[in-house]
């Protein structure tokens, strides 16, 4: 059988990766789908920051929310799994996406009620923490259902471009709507809801196009169901009985701990700077919410730009020429420099730039390297242990940071310098874990390379 001649669309998408003619339209629709999801999330992310940080003790509340999100996920994830067992995948993905879109409309309606508006910051922050994890995760689950391994290896990089560009576009669009069109903070919620509705529509279109794979997918779904049934029972046992996985779990807690501490410090310095402007008469108190929202929108925009540049131009070359042993140490050394600079001079300008470098490296280099760590592991480890580590252990890093903020800021009146000093100690532990992980990774590769006897 001869291969179909390349189409104009497949040639265009071929700039990113190898796309077959019959795959091109579906791949483009999926890329647009994840683009819309990320744009919807990033458009409301600065709104989330503004709503919570304008509250009294807002930075402290923000840090505590990591623990609240972790607890909520203990109920949300099993509930999602029960729906996944009972619904066809298209109805599940479309339904959950529209479910979250309806919440944004409810938040918008609630913003017009003074008694609700005063408490909206905490609830909305919690909601966004659940929303952004679930909708993006289920998108990649949907994509995995559509593509086999060979297709996934070729087409997932294209989908990743949609995710990265969507994150950047979300910030740029939010900046335009807030700063140029002067759209209200709460009106941004309706904008994101419309994007989610469009994403749900694209999901159904893709499902309809790919429905000819239904019989093969049914058998795969049965296998996946059996795999998922063992996640709750066996995932943590796998982690705690394997040194390599336990090291990755500890690494996940520590690097999330460091990042969450940095986010708290940034939020605290932004609020202190805003209060100083109000006290000096350079900013009206009524405009403080919009000022904080705009500041964070600029921050996320700069992070997005740097992430795109790193992901497209640096990451593959860094891994190709330096390997895992170099790429794995890029983020901890940046985090170490960031924390050290804040200890020396705890001012917003320094931390603002440092966190841009830190977050953009995390979203590009570190995200790629973290997934590479799983290449030499077994299938059970990839599906069960990775699920436990990427959800529970990552959130435990947030919880650890929340506890530190409670003890440090709430009870001991720590300054930003104190939190930066803790980060320096944590990064030192991070580096020790990185060395140990690479050592175990090398052992796994050597074991796999030995011929069977």
Tens of pLDDT, residues 128-138: 988 887 787 77
**pLDDT for res 376:** 75
Tens of pLDDT, residues 301-338: 899 889 888 877 777 678 777 878 898 999 999 999 99
H helices, E strands: number in the chain: 21, 0
**pLDDT for res 423:** 96
Tens of pLDDT, residues 21-74: 888 899 899 989 989 998 999 888 878 888 887 777 777 777 677 678 878 877
Give dist(CA 83, CA 355) in Å, integer: 38
Give dist(CA 220, CA 228) in Å, integer: 12
- Stretch 411-425: mean pLDDT: 92
pLDDT bin (cut points 50, 70, 90) of residue 382 is low
Give dist(CA 419, CA 398) in Å, integer: 14
| pTM > 0.85 | no
pLDDT bin (cut points 50, 70, 90) of residue 226 is very low
Tens of pLDDT, residues 335-354: 999 999 999 999 999 999 99
* CB-CB contact of 185 with 50 (8 Å): yes
Name which residue leads in pLDDT, 435 or 327.
435
Residue 150 has pLDDT above 50, yes or no: yes
**pLDDT for res 185:** 78
For residue 161, give every residue at least 6 positions away whose Cβ sits within 8 Å of its Cβ, in sequence order, or none.
Answer: 16, 31
Question: The tokens 């953009």 sit on which residue?
Answer: 360
Alpha-carbon distance values, 120 to 55, 71, 107, 178, 188 (Å): 10, 19, 8, 19, 15
- Report the alpha-carbon angle 391-392-395, nearest 5: 85
Exposure letters 170-189 (e unless 16+ CB within 10 A, then b) = bbbbbbebbeeeeeebbebb
pLDDT bin (cut points 50, 70, 90) of residue 191 is very high
Give dist(CA 14, CA 425) in Å, integer: 46
**pLDDT for res 192:** 93
Percent of the chain with pLDDT over 90: 32
Question: For the chain, what is the mean pLDDT?
Answer: 82
pLDDT bin (cut points 50, 70, 90) of residue 221 is very low
**pLDDT for res 152:** 60
- Stretch 224-241: mean pLDDT: 58
Residue 115 has pLDDT above 80, yes or no: no
* CB-CB contact of 52 with 69 (8 Å): no
**pLDDT for res 64:** 74
Name which residue leads in pLDDT, 279 or 53.
279
* DSSP state at residue 373: T
pLDDT bin (cut points 50, 70, 90) of residue 452 is low
**pLDDT for res 236:** 72
Closest by CA position to 210, among listed 400, 33, 388: 33
Residue 266 has pLDDT above 80, yes or no: yes
Residue-by-residue DSSP string for 224-259: HHHHHHTHHHHHHHHHHH-HHHHHHHHHHHHHHHHH
């Amino acid at each position: 059988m001869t291969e179909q001649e390349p189409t104009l669309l497949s040639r265009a998408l071929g700039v990113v990766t190898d796309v077959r003619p019959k795959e091109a339209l579906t791949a483009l629709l999926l890329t647009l789908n994840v683009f819309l999801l990320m744009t919807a999330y990033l458009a409301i992310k600065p709104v989330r920051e503004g709503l919570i940080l304008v509250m009294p003790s807002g930075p402290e509340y923000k840090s505590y929310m990591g623990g609240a999100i972790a607890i909520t996920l203990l109920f949300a994830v099993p509930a999602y799994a029960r729906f996944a067992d009972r619904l066809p995948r298209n109805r599940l993905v479309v339904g959950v996406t529209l479910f979250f879109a309806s919440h944004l409309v409810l938040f918008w309606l609630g913003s017009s009620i003074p008694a609700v508006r005063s408490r909206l910051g905490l609830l909305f922050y919690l909601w966004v923490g659940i929303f952004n994890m679930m909708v993006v995760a289920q998108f990649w689950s949907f994509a995995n259902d559509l593509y086999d391994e060979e297709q996934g290896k070729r087409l997932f990089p294209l989908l990743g471009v949609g995710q990265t560009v969507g994150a950047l576009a979300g910030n740029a669009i939010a900046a335009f709507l807030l700063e140029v069109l002067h759209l209200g903070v709460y009106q941004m919620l309706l904008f994101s809801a419309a994007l989610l509705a469009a994403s749900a529509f694209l999901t159904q279109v893709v499902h309809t196009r790919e429905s000819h794979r239904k019989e093969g997918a049914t058998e795969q779904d049965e296998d996946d169901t059996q795999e998922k049934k063992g996640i709750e029972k066996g995932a943590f046992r796998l982690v705690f009985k394997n040194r390599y996985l336990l090291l990755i779990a500890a690494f996940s807690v520590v690097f999330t701990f460091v990042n969450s501490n940095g986010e708290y410090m940034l939020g605290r310095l932004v609020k202190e700077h805003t209060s100083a402007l109000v006290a000096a008469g350079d900013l009206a108190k009524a405009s403080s919410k919009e000022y904080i929202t705009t500041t964070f929108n600029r921050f996320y925009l700069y992070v997005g730009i740097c992430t795109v540049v790193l992901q497209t131009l640096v990451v593959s070359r860094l891994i190709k020429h330096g390997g895992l042993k170099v790429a794995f140490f890029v983020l901890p050394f940046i985090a170490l420099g960031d924390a050290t600079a804040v200890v020396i001079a705890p001012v917003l300008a320094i931390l603002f730039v440092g966190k841009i470098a830190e977050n953009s490296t995390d979203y590009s280099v570190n995200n790629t390297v973290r997934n590479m760590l799983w290449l030499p592991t077994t299938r059970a480890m990839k599906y069960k242990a990775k699920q436990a580590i990427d959800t529970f252990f990552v959130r435990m890093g947030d919880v650890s940071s929340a506890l530190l903020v409670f003890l440090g800021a709430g009870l001991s009146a720590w300054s930003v310098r104190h939190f930066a000093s803790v980060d320096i100690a944590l990064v030192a532990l991070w580096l020790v874990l990185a060395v140990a992980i690479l050592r175990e990774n090398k052992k796994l590769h050597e074991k796999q390379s030995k011929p069977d006897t």
